[in-house]
Structure 1
C-alpha cells in the first residue's frame, strides 16, 4: 500500500471524531482536521465556527511551525491565543503521524472569552487572589482561643520579653475578652495567672 493511500485512510478514520468532539464540547468549540500535505488548503474537515474557517482553508502559523519542525514536532496542548476580534481561544493541536512523519493534525479550539469574563467578574467580587489567613470557626471558644495563642507563637518557657510580646499580641486580638482565657494563656506560657495578670497590666500601661 502506498504512503498516499495510507495517509488518506488515516484521515478517513479520524474524520468521524470531528463531529463527535464538537458535539461533546458544545457550541463554543471548533474541531478541525488538517492535512499537512496541502498547507494552502489543509482543512479537510471542520465542525464549529470559532475561527470562521471552512473546508479548504489554510493552515495557521502554528500549524506551519509544526510542519517545519518535521519529525521533531510535538503536540501543542492547552495553549491560549487571541483572535483579531479580541476573543480568547484555548486550543490543542494533536499531530497525526504516519511512519514517523507528521502528515496532519486534529485541533480543538474553544472560545473561552465568556468564561474568562465570568472569571474576571468572580475574581473582582471575591477580591484579589492572595493568601488568606486561616480562621478557626468552632462552637467551643477554647478552641478559638487556643488557635489564636498558637498563631501568636505561644509556647512554654518563653523569656519575659517574648512572653510580654505574645501577651500584648493576644490582648490586641481580644483574647482576654473571654473570661476563662487567662487560665489557658497562662498554661500555654507556663506561668501562673498572677504573673500573667501582672504582665498584662504592664503591657497595657505602655
Structure 2
C-alpha cells in the first residue's frame, strides 16, 4: 500500500473516531494511532480524557502490533486506567495494510467512574434484608406464601414437595410467625404446595 493510501485510510479512521467520540461523549475517548510513526503515533485524539497529546508515542499494544502481524486485530473490553487512577474499559482495533502488516490502530477508552457510581447506587437502593418480615402489598397474599416456601426450599436445595417432615414443620412455623397463615385459605395453599393434607398442615402449625 502506498503512503498516499495510508494517509487516506488514516483520514477515514479519524472521521470514524470523531463520530464515535461524539456519539458516546462525554464518557468516551477515541484515539487514532499511526503505527508507521511509532515515536509520534497519536495522530488524533477526540474527547480527550487521558490527557495525552497529538504526537505522543505508541502504547505497548501499538508496539506489539508493529513487531508482529500475528497480534490480534481486536482486543476488546480490557481493564485500563487513566493516569489519575480513573477506571477505564478499553478496546483496541488494529488496521492492516495490503502487505498484512499493521499500519494503524483505533483505540476506544470509556471512563467507568460515573457508571460504577451509578451501579453502587443501584445496588444500595435494591438491597433488601432477607430476614425482614414479608408484607402483603397486593390483594393476592397467597402468592407470598408460595414465594416464601419456594425461597425456603431453594435454600435447602429442594423443591417444596421434597421437603422432609421437620423442614415442612419449620417452614410452616416461619409462615405463622410472619403472619402469612392469617391470609384467607392459607392452610389450603400450604398443604397443596407442600403436597400434604390440610390436617397435617394444621398439626404442624399448632406444634411448638
TM exceeding 0.5: yes
Q: Give, in angstroms, the shift of residue 139 of structure 1.
A: 1.6
Q: Does 1:184 align with 2:189?
A: yes
Secondary structure of the corresponding residue to residue 44 of structure 1: strand
In the alignment, the residues of structure 2 paired with residue 159 and residue 107 of structure 1 have an alpha-carbon distance, to the nearest angstrom, of: 59
| Of 90-99 and 65-74, the range deviating more from structure 2 | 65-74
Q: 1:89 offset after TM fit, Å? A: 2.4
Q: Deviations over 1:70-90 (max 9, x none)?
A: 233331112221122122222
2:5 — aligned with what? Answer: 6
Q: Which deviations, in whole Å up to 9, do the C-alpha atoms of 1:5-51 show, x marking residues without a partner? A: 33223223323223222222223432211111111011122222212
2:120 is the counterpart of 1:115: no
Residue 104 of structure 2 aligns with which residue? 104
Q: If you compute each CA radius of gyration, which structure gives the higher value, 1 or 2? A: 1
After TM superposition, list the pairs within 5 Å mapping 1:126-165 onto structure 2. 126-127=126-127, 138-152=138-152, 154-155=160-161, 161=166, 163-165=168-170
Q: Structure 2: where are the runs of 5+ without partners?
A: 154-159
Q: Name whichever of 5-14 and 97-106 sits farther off.
A: 5-14
Q: TM-score, normalised by structure 1?
A: 0.74
Instruction: Tell me, in whole angstroms, the C-alpha distance in 2 between the residues paired with 1:113 and 1:161.
Output: 50
Unpaired stretches in structure 1, ≥5 consecutive residues: none
SS at match of 1:171: helix
The aligned counterpart of 1:174 is 179
TM value normalised by structure 2:
0.74
Quickly say closer, same or farther: Cα 1:192–1:70, change in 2 above 3 A: closer
Do the aligned partners of 1:136 and 1:147 also contact (CA within 8 Å) in 2? no
Whole-Å Cα distance in 2 between the matches of residues 159 and 91 of structure 1?
A: 52
- 1:108, CA displacement in angstroms? 1.7
* Count of residues in Structure 1 that have an aligned counterpart in Structure 2: 196
Separation in 1, partners of 2:26, 2:114: 12
What is the distance in 1 between the residues matched to 2:125 and 2:164? 45
Distance (whole Å) between structure 2 residues aligned to residue 110 and residue 67 of structure 1? 24
